[in-house]
């Protein structure tokens, strides 16, 4: 009987814009632009410190500049006229694909000997910009891929969008073992800064940043290291629908992100993980590593509380949050890439009996997406074989 086809991540790449700003510098920019008085300025600075983000990258260099030096925002009191949706989409169209191509090249560089001519499908994921013909076509043209390369655009799903890209890629290679799928997440969150003082807008301005990640999915693992896409599970928490939303307004895409989001995640995360584990016949102690979407500090903390995790279990998510902020759909792939790099370099030893990674992300809906990947490495297989041989050997006293 023919064995069922599997799906594997065989490379992950990432990229961020060249421009960046320390979190404290961005906080001062926001306080100046919002014309905060001394009391509100102190509260805003406290909010930015609370995020535990140290630095964020943006295609807009203005966040590290002072009025009079801006190249995107008006150099006027109150930043009027404030940039329109059209102006922001022009910026997205100019910056998104070059950033994505850097992530794709990083992905190729991480896969020695890979021939880009093997790519049969391109999936783009983004919630921060739209235009057509879109990034999918521009990426195909830039890579010199044939016109019959199949394309799919996954748009406006927010931070969990990468999971839908990976699920689709997995289905493609499982149904066609000769397929190679390139999944590209492109998010320019910082172009949607809103000049509003509502708590949800202040929080969104304090968290989001720009980044791109690229993943290659195939039906067979590469010889040295791969991650098997083992199982996915999605759930909805309709009672949290109004707490996280993403709308197109006259002056950009407006994010609604309230302080109640962690509370809803707290109520649903344990059931989500139990159902995911049950789906693939695993238990909690089969999970060796965690790649949680760092949507914010409090979100990571409530997941730890509910799943009985330590800060060390969550260290990769905290590291990405600290170094990059929340880059929407690309962020969880940054976490997975950091784990991959440590495994490949030998800086991280994964127990042979716990080769699985639990990942999750959240978005409008309130949507909870989750995934289990299994690390596939020769040394893990060897250790497993040795363990099985030892168990089967006669025991003498």
* Residue 394 located in a structural domain: no
Pair (213, 230) in one structural domain: no
Give the count of domains, the chain. 2
74 within 8 A of 82, measured Cβ to Cβ: yes
pLDDT of 327 higher than 80 = yes
Assigned token pair, 159: 């931070």
Pair (212, 230) in one structural domain: no
Pair (49, 145) in one structural domain: yes
Which of 178, 193, 218 delimits the end of a domain?
Answer: 218
Which of 185, 218, 251 delimits the end of a domain?
Answer: 218
Q: What pLDDT is stored for residue 386 in this prediction?
A: 43
pLDDT, average across residues 145-174: 97
Pair (76, 204) in one structural domain: yes
Pair (144, 163) in one structural domain: yes
Q: What pLDDT is stored for residue 271 in this prediction?
A: 92
Q: Measuring CA to CA, which residue among 102, 97, 104 is closest to residue 126?
A: 97
Pair (31, 102) in one structural domain: yes
Range of the domain at 258: 226-384
Which of 195, 218, 241 delimits the end of a domain?
Answer: 218
Helix (H, G, I), strand (E, B) or coil at 123: strand
Lowest model confidence (mean pLDDT) among 77-86, 96-105, 184-193, 333-342? 77-86
Assigned token pair, 80: 């009027």
Pair (254, 374) in one structural domain: yes
Detail the DSSP E strand segments found in the chain: 8-15, 20-22, 55-57, 121-126, 150-155, 181-188, 210-218, 226-236, 244-249, 252-257, 287-292, 356-363, 367-376
Pair (164, 298) in one structural domain: no
Cα within 13 Å of Cα(389), Cβ side = 6
In terms of phi and psi (left: phi > 0; alpha: psi -120 to 50; beta: otherwise), the region of 203 is alpha
* Residue 3 located in a structural domain: no
CA atoms of 237 and 52, how far apart (whole Å): 27
Q: What pLDDT is stored for residue 396 in this prediction?
A: 39
Find the CATH number of the domain harbouring 46: 3.40.47.10
* Residue 172 located in a structural domain: yes
* Residue 395 located in a structural domain: no
* Residue 207 located in a structural domain: yes
Note if 159 is an active site residue: yes
Average pLDDT score over the chain: 92
* Residue 389 located in a structural domain: no
pLDDT of 390 higher than 50 = no
Render pLDDT for 333-352 as a digit per residue (tens, 0 to 9).
999 999 999 999 999 988 88
Residues 6+ apart with CB under 8 A from 165: 123, 125, 154, 183, 185, 215, 329
Q: Which of 107, 127, 159, 185 is catalytic?
A: 159
Cα within 13 Å of Cα(106), Cβ side = 21
Pair (166, 66) in one structural domain: yes
Helix (H, G, I), strand (E, B) or coil at 116: helix
CA atoms of 342 and 217, how far apart (whole Å): 20
Pair (151, 232) in one structural domain: no
* Residue 397 located in a structural domain: no
* Residue 391 located in a structural domain: no
């Amino acid at each position: 009987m023919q064995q069922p086809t599997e799906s594997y991540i065989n490379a992950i790449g990432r990229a961020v814009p060249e421009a960046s700003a320390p979190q404290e510098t961005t906080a001062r920019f926001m306080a100046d632009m919002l014309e905060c008085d001394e009391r509100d300025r102190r509260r805003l600075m406290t909010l930015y410190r609370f995020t535990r983000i140290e630095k964020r990258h943006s295609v807009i260099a203005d966040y590290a500049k002072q009025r009079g030096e801006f190249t995107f925002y008006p150099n006027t009191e109150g930043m009027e006229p404030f940039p329109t949706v059209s102006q922001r989409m022009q910026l997205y169209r100019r910056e998104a694909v070059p950033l994505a191509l850097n992530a794709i090249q990083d992905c190729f560089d991480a896969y020695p000997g890979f021939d880009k001519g093997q790519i049969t499908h391109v999936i783009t994921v983004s919630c921060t910009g739209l235009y057509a013909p879109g990034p999918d076509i521009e990426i195909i043209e830039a890579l010199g891929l044939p016109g019959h390369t199949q394309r799919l655009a996954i748009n406006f799903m927010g931070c969990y969008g990468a999971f839908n890209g990976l699920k689709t890629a997995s289905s493609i290679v499982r149904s066609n073992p000769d397929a190679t799928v390139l999944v590209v997440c492109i998010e320019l969150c910082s172009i949607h800064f809103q000049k509003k003082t509502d708590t949800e807008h202040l929080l969104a301005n304090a968290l989001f940043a720009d980044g791109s990640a690229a993943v290659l999915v195939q039906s067979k693992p590469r010889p040295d290291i791969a991650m098997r896409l083992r199982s996915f599970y999605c759930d909805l928490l309709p009672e949290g629908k109004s707490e996280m939303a993403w709308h197109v307004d006259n002056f950009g895409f407006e994010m609604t992100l309230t302080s109640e989001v962690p509370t809803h995640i707290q109520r649903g995360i344990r059931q989500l993980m139990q159902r995911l584990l049950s789906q693939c016949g695993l238990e909690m102690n089969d999970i060796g590593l965690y790649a949680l979407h760092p949507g914010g500090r409090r979100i990571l903390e409530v997941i730890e509380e509910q799943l009985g995790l330590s800060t060390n279990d969550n260290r990769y998510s905290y590291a990405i949050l600290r170094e990059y902020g929340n880059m929407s759909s690309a962020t969880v792939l940054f976490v997975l890439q950091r784990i991959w790099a440590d495994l490949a370099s030998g800086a991280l030893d994964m127990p042979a009996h716990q080769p699985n990674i639990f990942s999750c992300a959240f978005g409008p809906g309130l949507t909870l997406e989750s995934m289990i990947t299994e690390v596939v490495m020769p040394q893990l297989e060897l250790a497993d074989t040795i363990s099985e041989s030892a168990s089967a050997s006669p025991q003498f006293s």
